[in-house]
Homo-oligomer: A and B are copies of this chain.
Amino acid sequence: MLSKKIQAALAGSSAIRAMFVEGKELAAKVGAENVFDFSLGNPATPAPERLKQAMKDLLDTEDPLVLHGYMSNSGYEDVRETIAENLNRRFGTSFGWKNIVMTVGAAGGMNTVFKAILDPGDEVIVFAPFFGEYRSYAANFDASIVAVGPDYETFEPDLAAFRAAFTDKTKAVIINTPNNPTGVIYSDETMKKIAEILLGMEEAFKKDIYLISDEPYRELVYDGAKENFLTQYYHNTIVGYSFSKSLSLPGERIGYIAVPDTAADAENLLAGIEVANRTLGFVNAPSLVQKAVAACIDETTNLEFYDKNRRTLYEGLTGLGFTCVKPQGAFYLWLKSPVSDEADFVAAAKKYNLILVKGSAFGCGGYVRLAYCIPHEKIVRSLEAFAKLAAEYHLGA
């Protein structure tokens, strides 16, 4: 009785969620303290104290009919204005509130944008490895994902392959930097080349092509790397954002879409995203938390917490002989499997209570992802387990 699409989805459901469930099962068996669960990108440092106070203040002072009531499907105008001004101040953009649509997280935002622009048969280019859910989001609108492989040295996009991936069905390109799952930040030079290629393809195919920048990790950058905002490179850039990581609110489902006036058909696109927000059933982003994030717009997450994990894990794993991409941002580490089929490696790791996610879930086999958003002491203790795993593969020997 299930739809064909959902039957297929159930058969090949999220590898990340599957490992999360395996981790919980293992925890029930051996005790949560003995499981090193690197599966899920669930922030491990709490929401800022300011957020709690902001919510309590809103509950005490705002009219509940406004605070919990319907507003425009695109969100409260004052919240959108606050976000626009924050972006303008930080990135030199010139957004007004009309350029911002509040969304049910970045996942909700991405779906509203896809609904607004994708026709059946359209193609969306993504850079592998990539967040596997993009595939489901495109499939929701009968569009397909065209994956472009990485440069395996840097895990930046292979630009020759990118150039070759365009067809007359290409409607958009998704970019995600700092990247999930590699932790790589694409360089300024790479971004300029991507923009150049996009402009050339718009010319060649005589059509508009959107660059959709999925930026949930925008502020999670290390070693003094700058926070980046991608509308500066290419006129036709739509930005999707989530407060899940920066304010540790993944369960609250709050984010936004920013469409600059320079984007093709910007006004209609914003109207289309608003309608899509309604007709897809989101209706609007949750109301109280809209106002709460606006009140916390200048708050930042505990970057030091993740950075300490990053350094301990990267140094520990490379010291054990594992080959890793050094993370520059986000809270993921991308590790080369010692054997070609990384599913075997994931299974071996589980024997030592290490829960990893296979790279093929991100369109890039032979690697695994570690989400290091877990308590630091677990990172430290996990290295003993990784040492046994390394020994099994005769690494560093």
Contacts and interface: CB of A to CB of B under 8 A. Distances in A.
Interface of A: 1-7, 9-10, 13-14, 17, 40, 42-44, 46-47, 51-52, 55-56, 59-60, 63-65, 67-71, 73, 104-105, 107-112, 115-119, 133, 136-137, 139-141, 208, 210, 248-254, 264-265, 268-269, 271-272, 275-276, 278-289
A64 B46 contact: yes
Given A6-B272, A69-B250, A104-B281, 6 more contacts: A1-B269, A10-B271, A104-B104, A252-B287, A253-B284, A286-B289
Contacts of A64: 46-47, 51-52, 248
Contact of A283 (B4, B43, B105): B105
Nearest to A9: B275
A283 B269 CA distance: 24
Secondary structure dominating the interface of A: helix
Output the residue of A10, A56, A265, A283 with the most chain B CB within 10 A.
Answer: A283
A40 B70 contact: yes
A136 B281 CA distance: 9
A278 B5 contact: no
A120 B290 CA distance: 35
A137 B2 contact: no
Contact of A1 (B10, B40, B51, B117): B117
Contact of A6 (B4, B5, B73, B115): B115
B10 A281 contact: no
A60 B282 CA distance: 29
B286 A251 contact: yes
A241 to B, nearest CB: 14
